[in-house]
Chain A
Amino acid sequence: MGKIVLENVQKHFGTVKVISNVSLTVEDGSFVVFVGPSGCGKSTLLRLIAGLEDATGGRILIDGADVTDLPPTKRGLSMVFQSYALYPHMSVRGNIGFGLKMAGMPKDEIRKKVDAAAATLNLTPYLDRKPRMLSGGQRQRVAIGRAIVREPKGFLFDEPLSNLDAALRVNMRIEIARLQRSLGTTAIYVTHDQVEAMTMADKIVVLNAGSVEQVGSPLELYDRPANLFVAGFIGSPKMNLIGGATAEPYQAATIGIRPEHLIVSRDGGGWAGTISVAEHLGSDTFLYVEVPGVGLVTARTPGEVSFHAGERVMLQPDPARLHRFDKQGQAIRG
């Protein structure tokens, strides 16, 4: 069990409003990711749920019980920190078992549980080492072991992979997602890496300046961004957002088209432009096309198509995949 509900949660640091009126439901067993630009309040929101910060207003409920005024020790959640935050003076065994020891579990039971957790995370050979004698990836796994061994109501992750190199990050991402599915424990995961968000989440919460911009499944956010902020934030490369005269025929203040939804040809219809940069990634090629009157437009084509810089091309937006936004930046449906 581990349903987490936020009701109008607010957080002020002095006079600075960091979180304003966030309401949110995290269903039991789901994997929810908070994304947003740096400084938007992701960590603060997570720490409010953890109980490491006191809410200025609103309520936080875990399984229906109001925990707003409870300390972290009484909330039954566990957390994985960006810095790992392992206890430097304890062995890996001590680190993983610390929570159980605090709960007053008998020694041999702790030993069994720690052994099991270590086996799941391939940490068995390192159980007697101190954290400083481990690599970054191993430390990360110890931090995860410490979180899972207590069988908490929910996991809280604050950018747990940002200190790892790219290859390891992908592995750990898969490992965490798999672990969470197999345990069926609610997880809230903070990241500013939208690839992590898209691949891991059941539900993504897009935050901006302390407010929720949109909540939805990864594909919902990709296919139906509620506003300009989400449209620009989700997807890589970014959606092309075009205003002015180009948007007028569509009865919108701004139109958005993703780079992968532009049909690029040498002599088809659409906007005519000149390729200023072509990035060949192998699988894909990103074209940055200068279109007079529209601006720089990004297009994504399969890798085998050979366009190169300086070439003139035509860009035809796929009308079914076109997004329209009004003056306030809200999506126009229908």
Chain B
Amino acid sequence: MARAISPQKKWTFTILAWVVALILFFPILWTILTAFKTEGDAILFPPAFLPPHWTLENFVTVQTRSDYFKHFFNSMVISIGSSLIGLVIAVPAAWSMAFAPAKRTKDILMWMLSTKMMPAVGVLVPIYLIFKNLGLLDTLTGLTGIMTLINLPIMVWMLYTYFREIPVDILEASRMDGAVLWKEIVYVLLPMAIPGIASTMLLNIILAWNEAFWTLNLSAANAAPLTAFIASYSSPEGLFWAKLSAASTLAIAPILVIGWFSQKQLVRGMTFGAVK
């Protein structure tokens, strides 16, 4: 519906939107700026907004001291791996729930979501012990697995909402055209669901990339992703604001870039169903 908006109102909204965006973005900007300061400048009071002496020293220190690229690699494996495995499980699950719902489908969906309402720390001990007994502690396999499991409910939900939007007629038409189940999925359902699957995958990569509870608790040195890399700088050795900021900047940079380029997909993904 096109509604007339007065120019005044439009300006007010624009300014408000910018203010909110800047407030939200400010901590990230501050982190990035601090990363380029010397340790001394970083703790100046009153704080200096722009670095008085620009330096790349923090980045160099951070890389030499704790091997950014190794953690980066681990983060990639965990986030992309868990998203791919998650999709393999979630696509068929959401498919059957959306297109062949049974009496209890709604309940199962709610139950899956409810697992996300439980505080993670509540199951830390059993999961830790399971990991320990299976020798999964501090392995990429273990972390990818746990990340798949904790994000699975969200993936199923998102895909379910997407699939529900696909007209059943079209799938029935393919059946009439002689497409057996796997052909129906490969040739008809998947191509129509690709946008939905892509946003689900992106959101999941971001969630897995930023996840800090399980990755911190279940990894030590070998499989530690970037979250652990950041955490290692908020150490009792003392405050290294600039180095911590440099580590954080390096950790969030890839996801920021992915997020920037896939904005459209993400917004569409998250508002899917709400707007047509």
Contacts and interface: CB of A to CB of B under 8 A. Distances in A.
B164 interface: no
B173 A79 contact: yes
Main SS class of interface, B: helix
Contacts of A174: none
Interface stretch (A84-92, A190-198, A273-281): A84-92
A99 B177 CA distance: 4
Interface in B171-221: 172-180, 183, 187-188, 191-192
Interface stretch (A70-78, A203-211, A237-245): A70-78
Interface string A50-91: 111000000000000000000111000111010101111100
B191 A73 contact: no
Contacts of A71: 175
Contacts of A78: 176-177
A43 to B, nearest CB: 11
In the A-B complex, list the 10 residue pairs whose CB atoms are closest, starting with the nearest: A85-B169, A99-B177, A85-B173, A102-B178, A89-B191, A79-B176, A72-B175, A85-B170, A73-B178, A102-B179
B169 A83 contact: yes
Contacts of A51: 175
A166 interface: no
B174 A98 contact: yes
A102 B176 contact: no
A150 interface: yes
A52 B168 CA distance: 11
A102 B183 contact: yes
A50 B176 contact: yes
A183 interface: no
Interface of B: 167, 169-170, 172-180, 183, 187-188, 191-192
A87 B174 contact: yes
A73 B173 contact: no
A285 B167 CA distance: 44
Contact of A88 (B170, B174, B175): B170
B188 A87 contact: yes
A93 interface: no
B177 A98 contact: yes
Nearest to B178: A102
B179 A81 contact: no
Interface string A81-122: 101011111000000001100110000000000000000000
A323 interface: no
Interface in A138-175: 146, 150, 156
B106 to A, nearest CB: 16
Contacts of B179: 73, 98, 102
A95 to B, nearest CB: 9
A81 B172 contact: yes
A170 B266 CA distance: 46
A87 B173 CA distance: 9
A250 to B, nearest CB: 49
Contacts of A81: 169, 172-173
B194 to A, nearest CB: 8
A323 B38 CA distance: 103
15 contacts: A52-B175, A73-B178, A73-B179, A79-B173, A81-B169, A81-B172, A81-B173, A85-B172, A86-B173, A87-B170, A98-B177, A98-B179, A102-B177, A102-B178, A150-B178
Contacts of A102: 174, 177-179, 183, 187
B187 A98 contact: yes
A89 B178 contact: no
Contacts of A88: 170, 192
Contacts of B175: 51-52, 71-73
Nearest to B190: A89
A8 to B, nearest CB: 25
B176 A77 contact: yes
A103 B167 CA distance: 24
Nearest to B173: A85
Nearest to A102: B178
A142 to B, nearest CB: 11
A85 B178 contact: no
A277 to B, nearest CB: 39
A83 B179 CA distance: 19
